[in-house]
Structure 1
């Protein structure tokens, strides 16, 4: 059987991800953010992580690329590093006041983009898509962690 490689879930999800990334990047750029920074910004804003190690784990990326991203974010005035009072050898990372001020507009822009991308979907279809994608990601994570 000769399946159409361009109609596989992997290819279609990749196309959708690139489309969302381009859309988000265009909307976030004017606010001073990059789409790749989004997991870090959200984790810091929500208090889910405050160290480089925890941010890398949260964002599901390795330490060296996280260190590079944090250096750029610090250079761009989005984050600040402060000494960890419990461990003077490590630092805590926090959003700057400027980044905190821009975050609500960034979140509105991202949600608006998602709503626009899902025009023609019912609420039930949109919820089902999110559920299916989460399950797909869980499956992929399990597969990668066992190799």
Structure 2
């Protein structure tokens, strides 16, 4: 039988806790603009490249098609996006930002920056860089292992 995993030593627990706190802090700042955290990643992707298909948005935001369909329906209802037929393939729609969403971009980006600043308060630039590097590496590791059930490489901690 393996030893229990205390939450304070679990990367998954800590990252999940951090994600919930970040979402809550972001929600407080963007809800007054009629946007919720579940729409935020889609807006950021569209701010970078307006006119993506639903499938392209799913790939960029790492969300399943049914979830994306529901989110886009709400965003359309809320006046944040429109969907227009793709001239290259009439079976697909291009998701485009509305003028309202474009006007919100500075406020939404400022809200995200504020939350990031709050989350990293008291950390040095080197600590923030190291944190980003570690997060990117963990994401890459899990993306590479997606769908595999093999054992992770042994480390000093797992060898104990």
TM-score (structure 2 length as normaliser): 0.86
SS in 2 for 1:120: coil
Distance, in Å, in 2 between the alignment partners of 1:133 and 1:99 is: 29
Question: Does the aligned pair in 2 maintain the 1:83–1:91 contact within 8 Å?
Answer: yes
Alignment of 1:1-147 (within 5 A): 2=3, 4-7=5-8, 8-47=10-49, 50-147=52-149
Per-residue displacement from partner, 1:121-141 (whole Å, max 9, x unpaired)?
001101110110111111122
- What is the deviation of 1:90? 1.5
Q: How many residues align?
A: 147
- The RMSD of aligned alpha carbons is 1.6
TM-score (structure 1 length as normaliser): 0.93
SS in 2 for 1:61: coil
Which stretch has the larger CA shift, 37-46 or 119-128?
37-46
- What is the deviation of 1:3? 5.1
